[in-house]
Chain A
């Protein structure tokens, strides 16, 4: 007996009265939802991913999209998703792949944290009139300064500072590799970070020549596959990031299918054309914390101790202790990627079930480093599910120095979080290498969109700080007393070191 088809996920329809037969929807949909039979547009809703490209391009607003047009018998445990996954796996015998971040309805801690503002006893500060400092330095800081005050009053600085990255705003763009996203997408992001005085990650895909002009704003990544890594690559980056794990898939490696490895990608990654790019789960030269410390040192040696080295880990239960270990190496920053972090392709079971939220991870990492008196030895970068400036302010108040955004920056370029990135047909020209699709994305235009997003969030962040009577970002960092938890349980409040509302 056949299992038959599962019900449609989305139902697309065209208001035939509105439609002017321009046929743009047919051209726009890379998944082939629309085709033409004689003068009629035929719709195959089963192919739709809700990427919205047709809707956004239709001149008549004639297209309607509905999610789940067919109901199942409702059941609190056997959700439609649970049933469909089983049906699909019964058919395939395979791991279910997914794109973007965790899609389970876990409570969002950010949404249960509220920020403080000044009233009477201290004045709020108006960022339009007073300086507001968001400048952030990432890297090791000395635990104290040694100075020599001479008799003539001259002060001589004896402590030598290690190189830090200077950010005009604490918002950076996380690592998305060329391969996972298109060159035009990477180029747009690179132009955006240059315009806004911040940095972005290359991901594990090497550095394409087209990005060289922006190398002073790039953080180059060294991941377990070591793709694209050579001395030229390391030297071009403003900083180097060792990727141990990723929030969307803690504990596993990555896989870029051979069909995505075109001529250009193969050159940039330094792998044969059309071959699968497989990043192993662990780095095969890192089996313990001291191995990691060694790799950090090797990278520092290779670049003459001129560049900060970051280490990125997925937010897992033991993240705090791992971060404390990393702080003891020569690493300059630890990146914690929460379980809502995005991904081009991830087994769904990992995306939805492994890891912990960034809010709890950052708070516990900051606390552990504080308890051990080594917080200033390392910067903390939070990532994974940061949606707006309030999330950024809250992340910093929980202990982050800066944040990485990923999905947010893609949405600014058109992405609608359809979650199909692993299929390589992104109609927005982002998660694809198909030349006709990539061409749709104009780096001049999209870089401005991304830069605007960073600018808006930076402005909002200054307003939030001003309202809290704070004119320098370092006074927001770890300032848990300016946060309150709303309807958070005692255990979580304790981890966050935040009082409940009203207290």
Chain B
């Protein structure tokens, strides 16, 4: 079932990770102690022009030399270090989390309008499908994902999540059925600027996967959530569609509703469904997606998973449970539930 929560401060005020940790722990009923994770935007101001590449290494010999080699080929490593971690009794360390701050050479990707992003995407896909013992799980600028197998509080303390300050946070408490115990299987999933937390199971995974694969993505995480990140990257970044249109492609209105729309809207929705049929996500889900510009939360078309919204001045909260939001912000206002498939968008206004 899984528990998710996301928050944005629209004025970019920074929040440390302690309160989202507490909120996530409140939803332990929804997890099984086998996976939790956090994503935060705005945490690396000193390296904001670099891609922050987070990697799980099985050891620092073979896999790391291969990743180093690839990075050297494609750009310049500005800085690298082990991600600081602190032993927790309830958490078994299975990988070494490492981070690179990296600048790709933009002239290496011919024919691309976003060459730097495409270099990074290539590095991520290559590493995750071809380098044994290395997994890139975070690759955006001035943002990072922190995840592991364990209860939310253990994972948070393992990374000392309160040491990071971000204006957007996503968090996820996992109840795995597919790939228990695997660090890579924990959420959030990330590619470039996109981070995704997801509660549910995508029954259209086979269709969505074939679609993103035909557009040059490689699915390597053995879980359905990764396609959401790729779909957002494809539609949002490469096709240049705004988030609300991307959500309309992923969780479109029913044909009956479209048939009854005013002509212009009808034409648009009709075109979206025809063009992006293979991107339509079926099955029960509640999802929150973030980029450095904002967050968007939405559910499947018949809302088979919960999603609650709360607001407090500049802050917008999206979560599986109202109680979790109240832990983060006891004074939260305007708690409500969005309709099925309706996107809830929180955008920066600075």
Contact = CB atoms under 8 A, between A and B. Distances in A.
Does A associate with B in a complex?
A: yes
Interface of A: 118, 121-123, 125, 130-131, 133, 135, 137, 141-145, 147, 149, 155, 157, 159, 161, 164, 370-371, 373, 375-376, 397, 468-472, 474-482
Contact of B207 (A159, A161, A479): A479
Contacts of B301: 471-472
Interface residues of B, number: 42
Interface stretch (B108-116, B264-272, B309-317, B328-336): B264-272
B152 to A, nearest CB: 21
Contacts of A474: 207, 273, 277-278, 280
Nearest to B244: A155
B275 A142 contact: yes
A131 B256 contact: yes
B204 A370 contact: no
B304 interface: yes
Nearest to B278: A474
Contacts of B268: 147, 155, 157
Contacts of B274: 137, 141-142, 161, 164
A356 to B, nearest CB: 22
B258 to A, nearest CB: 10
A290 to B, nearest CB: 25
Contact of B241 (A122, A135, A147, A376): A147
Given A145-B275, A477-B278, A478-B210, 6 more contacts: A121-B177, A145-B271, A375-B214, A469-B282, A469-B284, A481-B206
A122 B283 contact: yes
Which has the most chain A C-beta neighbours within 10 Å: B210, B275, B281?
B210
Contacts of A475: 203-204, 207, 280-282
The residue among B241, B271, B274 with the most chain A CB atoms within 10 A of its own CB is B274
Contacts of A141: 274-275, 277
B271 A373 contact: no
A283 B201 CA distance: 49
Contacts of A471: 282, 301-302
Contact of B206 (A147, A373, A376, A478): A478
A159 B239 CA distance: 12
Interface string B265-308: 00110111111111011111000000000000000011010000
Interface string B204-226: 11110111011110000000000
Nearest to A143: B275
Closest 6 CB pairs of A and B: A481-B206, A475-B204, A474-B277, A479-B206, A475-B282, A469-B203
Contacts of A477: 207, 277-278
A481 B205 CA distance: 8
B280 A482 contact: no
Nearest to B239: A144
B204 A470 contact: yes
Contacts of A472: 280, 282, 301
Given A122-B200, A142-B275, A373 B207 contact: no
Contacts of A373: 214-216
A142 B271 CA distance: 9
Nearest to A476: B207
Which residue of A125, A373, A468, A469 has the most chain B CB atoms within 10 A of its CB atom?
A469
A159 B206 contact: no
Contacts of B267: 157
A474 B280 CA distance: 7
B207 A478 contact: yes
B245 interface: yes
B254 interface: yes
B207 A157 contact: no
21 contacts: A118-B203, A122-B200, A122-B203, A125-B302, A133-B254, A133-B255, A144-B239, A145-B239, A147-B268, A161-B271, A161-B274, A370-B213, A370-B214, A373-B214, A375-B211, A397-B206, A471-B302, A474-B277, A477-B207, A481-B205, A482-B203
Interface in B231-246: 238-239, 241-242, 245
Nearest to A481: B206
Nearest to A397: B206
A238 B245 CA distance: 31
B257 to A, nearest CB: 9
B270 to A, nearest CB: 8
Which of A125, A141, A479 gathers most chain B CB within 10 Å?
A479
B278 A122 contact: no
Contacts of B239: 144-145
A118 B283 CA distance: 10
Nearest to B267: A157
B254 A131 contact: yes
B241 A470 contact: no
A210 to B, nearest CB: 32
Contact of A470 (B238, B276, B277, B282): B282
A13 B275 CA distance: 60
Contacts of A157: 267-268, 271
Nearest to B215: A373
Contacts of B201: 121-122, 469
Nearest to B300: A471
A376 B278 CA distance: 9
B214 A159 contact: no
A157 B209 CA distance: 27
A370 B271 CA distance: 21
A120 to B, nearest CB: 9
B107 to A, nearest CB: 25
A118 B211 CA distance: 22
B266 to A, nearest CB: 11
Nearest to A372: B214
B275 A480 contact: no
Contacts of B200: 122
A91 B332 CA distance: 93
B178 to A, nearest CB: 9
